[in-house]
Amino acid sequence: MSSIKSSNVAIVGAGYVGLCTAAGLASLGHRVTCYDILPEKIDGLNANVIPIFEEGLDERISQSVFEGNLKFHHDLDLAVANADFIFLCVPTPQNADGAADLTFVLNAAESVGLFAKAGATLVTKSTVPVGAAHRIAQALSRTDLHVASNPEFLREGTAMKDFYNPDRIVVGSDEISVSRRVAELYQLPDVPMVLTSPASAELIKYAANSFLAMKLSFVNELAAISELTGANIHDVTAGFGLDKRIGSMFMTAGPGWGGSCFPKDVRALLSISESIGAPSTLLEAALQSNEATFRRVVERVDRIVGPGLEGSSIGVLGLSFKAGTDDVRDSPALAIIERLIDRGASVKAFDPKARLGSSSSRVIQVGSVAEVFSGADLVLVLTEWPEFSEITPELLLPLMRRQNVFDTRGILTDAWRTKSHRFERIGSL
Ligand code: UGA
């Protein structure tokens, strides 16, 4: 694909970030070797079983494996031995106090230190607390390696598109030449590069996710105000988002924000701010506001169906935290479903991709949209899968016990308003 210099790259961690980064860099012509601590994951990848659903990822992986640019290895030593750049893409889960847990990152760095060749650069992609780069450098126990922080800004569902079309590339290192070499791996000369210190790069990542989460909390509060004042949130966000200083992207009101990143990163930045004696009241408020959004959805269901949800049957469309992914980690849909069940409702849910498995035995997961409507007192749309915008009321409403529909994502057509006994959306009457 490219005539630009190709490098040997190792990826440590074949999760969502690691696989997307591996597939992207390999497609640019770099020779990429991917390692994971779970041997079964590597076996699966070698048998072309991709462990996550991400648009375009499987094709990219197959193509790069076929071209010989992408390999998967059980052995860390083999994976990193020849690498010029070693990307750390391991999880940083949340501790009980909200802080990010660096155990996986530091263990991986320590192991990389045993096998990396002299002069290689360890690049941290995992989202890590400000100041982690120095701890990672210490864990390497080597003075002949470079360290850089290169946060990722890939959204689940559009990760491959985001990889090739980023708004910016951020690299933090104490050596500017190292930062430049890392940024050049992406072969995007026209994309703005922010080459900075490790601490700034680490903070940029938290700042981006936290700002977006705060923006959504604000939009969801405006939706509540709209409902009570007769305004329409779509017109309101269109109207104030067109101010270029504000921007009209990431302005869709919904059931609350979630996913594997926003809740964790907002809490981690809040924890950092508290630990250094500069507590962020805005981050605290954004989290509380999001909880209030979940509660408002539940209260509205109660108002439509109840009073009281005991014995009611609620059908739910969508389980993943947003469309385009099978990921249910910190999904607003699950947060809301749990609250409905706590109040005595029984919940049947359908999602085109997400599977709950045995961990969420309280929810009945069904295999079709029709089963969600069948016998329900209310159908609640919680994820904005495009296929839901194509369903029509004629055959589905007659299946319901009571014809109430509440669309928290604003994707059902207006036909539902005219046909349902009661039809409601977030952010308008
Ligand atoms: C987020 C960031 O957008 C990525 O830039 C970042 O790289 C990633 O986290 C990460 O740190 O790895 P992601 O978690 O995939 O990406 O999801 P988003 O598309 O940002 O959506 C987050 C939540 O906000 C979802 O619950 C979504 O439904 C909600 N949302 C988003 C809205 O309610 N309204 C919107 O207009 C946009």
Q: Does ligand 1 have an atom closer than 6 angstroms to the CB of 151? A: no
**pLDDT digits over 246-262, tens only?**
999 999 999 999 999 99
Burial of 284 (0-12, 13-18, 19+ CB in 10 A): middle
pLDDT at 341 over 70: yes
- Could you tell me the pLDDT band of residue 53, with boundaries at 50, 70 and 90? confident
Q: Does ligand 1 have an atom closer than 6 angstroms to the CB of 154? A: yes
Q: Which atom of ligand 1 is nearest to the CA of 213?
A: 24
- Could you tell me the pLDDT band of residue 120, with boundaries at 50, 70 and 90? very high
3-state secondary structure of 374: coil
pTM of the model: 0.94
DSSP conformation letters of 135-170:
HHHHHHT-SS-EEEE----PPTTSHHHHHHS-S-EE
CA of 366 to the centre of ligand 1 (A): 26
**pLDDT digits over 56-100, tens only?**
999 999 999 999 999 999 999 999 999 999 999 999 988 888 888
In whole numbers, what is the pLDDT of the chain averaged over residues? 95
Q: Does ligand 1 have an atom closer than 6 angstroms to the CB of 240? A: no
pLDDT at 359 over 70: no
pLDDT (0 to 100) of residue 4: 62
Torsion of the alpha carbons at 308, 314, 317 and 320, rounded to the nearest 10:
70
pLDDT (0 to 100) of residue 357: 79
Q: What is the mean pLDDT of residues 300-320?
A: 96
Q: What is the mean pLDDT of residues 332-356?
A: 96
The residue whose CB lies within 8 Å of the most ligand 1 atoms, and thus the one to mutate among 149, 152, 203, 212, is 212
Instruction: Report the catalytic residues.
Output: 261
Cβ of 378: how many Cβ atoms within 10 Å? 28
C-alpha 350/C-alpha 216 separation (Å) is 25
User: Does 242 or 419 have the greater pLDDT score?
Assistant: 242
Closest CA to 346 of 331, 326, 362: 362
C-alpha 49/C-alpha 58 separation (Å) is 8
